Structure 1
Amino acid sequence: MRFEAITWERLGDLLADRLLDLKPDDGSPWPRVAFDGAPAARPGDLAARVSEALRVRGRSSLVVGTEGFLRPASLRFEYGHEDVEAYYDGWFDTAALWREVFGPLDPGGTGRILPDLWDPATDRATRTPYVQLPPGALLLAHGPLLLKHWFPFDLTVHVLLSQGALRRRTPEAEHWTLSAFERYGTDIDPAATADVVVRADDPRHPAWNG
């Protein structure tokens, strides 16, 4: 895979331009885009940058992070605070994401989605109001392990870190999650399956394969 050096600003602009012409294969009026990456890769920052670039171009979008759909602590930590299997398969409420985010954006859906459901800091429901997306508005979803759930994305972006960079940029208290991302790389291989890959080992100098 060949990568081209780019700035984050230029990358946001190029991705936004590409998304302007994105048409869902299933006929949905709302294109759905994934920004996948470990927390240390900060895929949400890229999603926010693309959202702003779309706004400048007159196109509506909504950024949704999967951290707003964590399951309650009693379920996440049922087998301990550092259980890798639970992190890999059980931390995120995928049923709620299907129900509150992706289902309403299906063809014939209402376009009325919930941006977040659960606040991990308070371990309570957020009570965030629903948002009505007009036809043509884009969903920009971001989070870790995002490509393993068969969500109906129309374009996928993976923010890639080498194992060394991932270890360096992950807080030591979260190093127990690293084996989950190693497994993700083996099971899903997002660097090979995503439509766009952004290499971010040096956060000041990204590169991409677009």
Structure 2
Amino acid sequence: MSTRERILEVAANLVAESEDGDVSTRAVCEAAQVGAPALYRHFGDKQGLLSAVVDHGFDKYLATKRQREATADPVDDLCDGWDSHVDFALRNPNLYRLMNSPAMRTPPAAALESHQILTRDLERAAAQGKLRLAPELAAQMVMSANVGVALMLVARPATFADRGMSRRVRDAVHAAVFTPDVTESRAESFAQEAGTAGRDEVQLPATAARLSAMLAQAPPSALTDAEAALMGEWLDRLSR
């Protein structure tokens, strides 16, 4: 293993093990058993090192995307791409926060490649008449929402504890970028897979959400506090 590779591996491990995802160049040099001049010679400065760490870690994730063979349905590929993006963030929280940190002066090469892969899938969807706006704009919308959801799940797990939230945001964004026939078809397919039956099943979450809001605004006097809390919990579950 070269000196550069050893420094990179050590820095990546320290980032993953750190409480806040930050590391000092001194700690990296000590762990890699190299002097500071060697680190700066290979990476320029701390930001250069961290950018290399991000590319090194995210490259493993992108390897699966590079090898993936496109299916006949780009919409399916885009859904899988969204889900795998979120899964990667949850498995590598420090690396993911670092990748999207405002402190990074230039976007890591891995982030740019990920965006290019997304755009290519959207271009395929456009060629099939499934996109309602330009692929470049759709890519910006999808990527910003995907990154936002992933960051919230990673940074605020107590608030964003429901993994299903990611799918809901994904479907909402897809409804904005794909033609109505695509989103309607996927909604029907999802309903069939989930075993739902008809319009009443679809309206249940909306009805529960409305009742929950009404209960919060004006708790029925006929209910005790405990009963109202229990009903609120049931309605919250149904609305989700």
Structure with greater proportional strand content? 1
Same topology, TM > 0.5: no
Instruction: State the TM-score, normalized to the length of structure 2.
Output: 0.24
Instruction: State the TM-score, normalized to the length of structure 1.
Output: 0.26
Q: Which structure is richer in relative contact order (CA contacts within 8 A, separation 6 or more)?
A: 1
Structure with greater proportional helix content? 2
